[in-house]
Amino acid sequence: MSNPFLEPSTLDYQLPPFAAIRDEHYLPAFEAGFAEHLAEIDRITGSGEPASFENTLIALERAGSTLDRVSRVFFSNSVSHATKAVQELEQQIAPRLAEHEDNIKLNRALFERIRQVPVDGLDPESARLVEEYLRGFVRAGAELDDDAQVTLRRLNAELSALSTEFSQKLLKDTNDSALLLDTAEELDGLSPDAISAAATAAADAGHEGKYLLTLILPTAQPALEQLTNREVRRRLHEASVTRGARGNEADTLNVATRMAALRAERAALLGFDTHAAAATDSQTAPSLEAILDRMRELAAPAVRNARAEAAELEAEAGHGIEPWDWAYYAAKVRKAKFDVDLDALRPYFELERVLHDGVFYAANRLYGLTFTECPDLLGYHPDVRVWEVFNEDGSGLGLFLGDFYTRDTKSGGAWMNSFVDQSRLEGTQAVVINNLNISTPGAGEPTLLSYDQVVTTFHEFGHALHGLFSDVTYPLFAGTSVPRDFVEYPSQVNEMWILWPEIVAHYARHHETGEALPQDVIDRIHAAGAWGEGFETTAYLGATLLDLAWHSLPAGTVIEDPLAFEASALADAGIDFAPVPPRYRTSYFKHIFAGGYAASYYAYIWSEMLDADTVEWFKSSGGLTRENGDHFRRELLARGNSIDPLEAFRRFRGRDADLQPLLVRRGLA
């Protein structure tokens, strides 16, 4: 059988030929990809010609195509459909890939050749390509001596293996920690479709006749808002916060501790005081100190607001508030203060309408896009759907894939991946995917979303638009390949259309009657917008400051008790308010131990400053218009990293971002 990774796909937009891909194809394709890539590098460094942009940088951008094809599919599957076979392969492949990347980035002959490339006369994007390659090689350790490079290779290999171990252990313990209940009475308060989904999840797990509440990745679990049984709420919350910290074979704490220590050692080797200093050196934030100052500046008013909210919840409950009580009584207070019951809105948020009449419709009104589902194009799992995306003039823009439902082989949370990046050099257009984790409904029942899931759907599609709209020459700069503290910005902006009048009226309709979500309800949702921001900001900052604490450890620091360190870090940061645990605790903080956000979880609120200011621009410039959409697309979304992202923002906005809209949004002004 021929290996489908060894040649470019012949499908539309080079969509990977998932129907032809088998597990046994991965390892041979990686082996071929490693060899091919190294041979291409040897040809670059062995050239007898003087280094030029064409024979060095263009050659580098075109090198490694087989490895790129197999890596994108494999590592997407490792989080979206991590079968036992894929997990076993990942344990072999991840360290090999880390070694291969070191073989490229630590290649002194290649580094010297890049340094010799003349930049005079290059267009700005090409000159930036040279600059970014040089920076990347230096940050990767190309200037270290031989002994230091040997040490660096060892550290990178072990970190790669540990990241895989953390991810796989967390997936197992998240599945194992799901709360199994015997009777429907224990689920009192949940909607009929949610109870049906719990029954389906239990049956799928081999517990016919019972009910299974599966866990999403963050600490807060959606069912906590509705469950009337306080003991069931407690059990669900404790299942969430003890994942990875139960002292079993899936315990992740020792893995996290070891990773933090290795990252600190690597940072010192590269000339930085801490990993946090190294990780933030290449971001849009001016410095680690500026980040810490801003987070601490926000922490005190956030906790103050959370304490005020807690007092209202205690008055409603008639007793002290524990973490598992917060969402339940917050919903009651929200209803009493604003007459808003978000859970009661689920019948208005049916997945197909949210998707077609909400997310896609907003993209049509703002950017002129249209979407055609392609049932003949297959994904890696039967749940995956494929749409071709067209510009207003009918030209093809790319493919959008959606994988919306949860399953045991999928990591928790939501994310966007790219199977093919846009590049004028390669003549490619984007193929992107959004992954969500919506509970599978019972047979014949509609998929009804919570309001939070609607927000997530719009958010992740913002990432997809960032990838689809990419209009750059070089693959290195394509789509979402921007600094970590900028990448969340376009996705956050896309959330603004959820309750925009023309959009919400089009998609928020009762799935049985077709009745539109009443305007007075929408008005009350707006009025209640700042309610709960004390909780949300405190939980977010707890995770952010915990991330920075783990990655601000100097090399050689030994953490004997990770949970004690966690508690101390939160107390030292002034963010230790017991009823509001961090959005992620160490043992299930996948973003930082297996997701590329190490010392960068601050990016969400840093990006939100740009987002909040952009929302104000849209509102003051006429809102949902093609002119506004084209301006945002042309000046920012299309640019990728081909220009400095903050310069792209200035070209879009006409100035630097203003912090005030963010402070107002989060009730911190």
Q: Which residues are catalytic?
A: 460
The DSSP result for 49-69, as a single string, is SPP-IIIIIIHHHHS-HHHHH
* Cα–Cα dist 659/663, whole Å: 7
Whether the CB-CB separation of 41 and 15 falls below 8 Å is answered with no
Evaluate whether 436 touches 414 at the Cβ level (below 8 Å): yes
DSSP 434: E
**Pairwise CA distance, residues 512 & 446, whole Å:** 10
Question: Six-digit token pair at 323?
Answer: 């973490």
Question: Cα–Cα distance between 606 and 547 in angstroms, integer?
Answer: 15
Tokens 């101390």: give the residue. Answer: 568
Distance CA 526, CA 339 (A): 12
446, amino acid identity:
P
Residue 246 backbone phi and psi in degrees, to 5: -100, 5
Q: Which residues contact 371 (CB under 8 A, 6 or more apart)?
A: 356, 360, 363, 387, 388, 389, 390, 400
What is the number of residues in the chain?
Answer: 669
Q: Is 208 exposed, middle or buried (0-12, 13-18, 19+ CB in 10 A)?
A: exposed
Phi, psi (deg, nearest 5) at residue 192? -55, -40
The pair of structure tokens assigned to 506 is 């089009």
HEC letters along 558-623:
CCCCHHHHHHHHHHHCCCCCCCCCCCCCHHHCHHHHHCCCCCCCCHHHHHHHHHHHHHHHHHHCCC
The widest CA-to-CA distance across the chain, in whole angstroms, is 81
Per-position b or e across 278-297, b if 16+ CB within 10 A of its CB = bbbbebbbeebeebbebbee
Q: CB–CB of 253/563 below 8 Å?
A: yes
Q: How far is CA 319 from the centre of its chain?
A: 37
Q: How do strand 415-420 and strand 396-405 relate by DSSP bridges?
A: unpaired
Nearest CA-CA partner of 176 in 244, 227, 235, 230: 244
- Quickly tell me which residue has 């419709």 as its tokens: 361
| Residue entry with tokens 């002959």 | 109
